[in-house]
Structure 1
Amino acid sequence: MNLLLIYAHPNHKSLSYSFMQQVLRGADENREVKETRVLDLYEEGFDPVLMFNEEKRRRDMHADPELTRHRELMLWADKIVFVYPIWWGRPPAMLMGFIDKMFASNFAYRDKGGLLPEGLLKGKSVVCVSVMKGPTGYLQLWLGNAHRILMRKALFNYVGIKKVKFFEFGNMESPKGKHGQKLDKVYRYFRAVTN
């Protein structure tokens, strides 16, 4: 299995970065993982801003030469892992901009004229690892699972990815946040996971 890790946090001393390291550590010890590659969106200076004009049209976004390497990595991967914080109940703007650019028509899906498109990323699986200051139940109870609905239904299922797993860790700014246990849970998952 080829694993692509997409990291969306500006600080390499953050807890999100620690979770990224546990994903990499577990994947490195997993015999099922053939190769792992990392896209660190902030470190590479990824531009999340969509810009359309006379020369750059939305309908051509699937072939944007600036995103060729990113598209190749997405197609190469069997499993895509996103590591990011939850800010204001959703992923950071950097990750949402990446999604806006990458999950383009004629790359991630194709319109068929009906209610739902043809998902072009079938057969892949996704894992979302996210951390937040508030309690874990905040997303489920207060926000009605908006984060999972956004990521699973509005995005991944739409492009044909049916296998989606979430690790949503709350209370991560509290000394009682059980950081070690949560980091170990992610490590153990990636050490044993298959596609």
Structure 2
Amino acid sequence: MKMLVIYTHPNHRSLSYAFLQEVIKGGNENDRIEEIKVLDLYEEGFDPVLVFNEHKRRRDMYKEPALAEYREQLLWADKIVFVYPIWWGRPPAMLMGYIDQMFASGFAYKDTGKMLPEGLLKGKSAVCISVMQGPANYLLFFLNNAHKALMRKGLLNYVGIKKVKFFEFGSMESPRGRHKEKLNKIYRYFQAVAR
């Protein structure tokens, strides 16, 4: 299994970065994982801003030359892992800008004239690891599970990725946030995960 980890946080001293390290550590100890690539969107200087004009049309985004390397990464991966904080009930704008550009029509899905398109990233799996200041149940009870609906139904299922696992860790700025326990949970998951 080949694994692409998409990390989205501007600070390498953050708890999100600590979770990234556990993903890598556990993955490196897993015989089923052949190779791990990490895409750090902030370190990479990824430009999340969409530009459409007379020279750049949305329908041509799937063949944008500047995004070719990122498309190759997504095609290469069997498992796509997203590591990010939850800000204002959703992933950071940097990650959303990556999603807007990378999961484009013609690359990640194609319209078929039916109610739903054909997902072109079938056979892959995904894991979403997110941390937030508020309690974990906040997203469920107060935001109607909007984060999971966005990532699972609005994005990943739409492009053909049906196997999606979530780790949503809340109260992470609290001294009672059980950080070590949660970090170890991620390490153990990636140490043992199959596909």
> Who is 1:12 aligned against?
12
Instruction: Give the Cα–Cα distance (whole angstroms) in 1 for the partners of residues 140 and 30 of structure 2.
Output: 31
Indicate the SS of the match to 1:68: helix
TM-score where L is the length of structure 1: 1.00
Instruction: Give the Cα–Cα distance (whole angstroms) in 2 for the partners of residues 125 and 166 of structure 1.
Output: 12
Instruction: Give the Cα–Cα distance (whole angstroms) in 1 for the partners of residues 150 and 55 of structure 2.
Output: 31
Instruction: Give the Cα–Cα distance (whole angstroms) in 2 for the partners of residues 109 and 78 of structure 1.
Output: 17
Instruction: Give the Cα–Cα distance (whole angstroms) in 2 for the partners of residues 118 and 38 of structure 1.
Output: 28
> Who is 2:92 aligned against?
92
> Who is 1:142 aligned against?
142
Alignment: residue pair count: 195
> Who is 2:117 aligned against?
117
Q: Which runs of 5+ in 2 are unaligned?
A: none
Instruction: Give the Cα–Cα distance (whole angstroms) in 1 for the partners of residues 104 and 96 of structure 2.
Output: 13
Which consecutive aligned stretches of 4+ in structure 1 deviate over 4 angstroms post-superposition? none
Instruction: Give the Cα–Cα distance (whole angstroms) in 2 for the partners of residues 10 and 64 of structure 1.
Output: 25
Q: CA RMSD in A?
A: 0.4
C-alpha deviations, 1:173-192, integer Å up to 9, x for none? 00100000000000000000
Instruction: Give the Cα–Cα distance (whole angstroms) in 1 for the partners of residues 154 and 42 of structure 2.
Output: 24
Query: In the TM superposition, what are the counterparts of 1:1-195 in structure 2 within 5 Å?
Result: 1-195=1-195
C-alpha deviations, 1:44-98, integer Å up to 9, x for none? 1000000011111101000000000000000000000000000000000000000
Identity %: 70
Instruction: Give the Cα–Cα distance (whole angstroms) in 2 for the partners of residues 107 and 131 of structure 1.
Output: 29
Instruction: Give the Cα–Cα distance (whole angstroms) in 2 for the partners of residues 41 and 80 of structure 1.
Output: 14
TM-score where L is the length of structure 2: 1.00
Shift of 1:114: 1.0
Instruction: Give the Cα–Cα distance (whole angstroms) in 1 for the partners of residues 154 and 89 of structure 2.
Output: 15
Which amino acid in 2 is paired with 1:151?
M
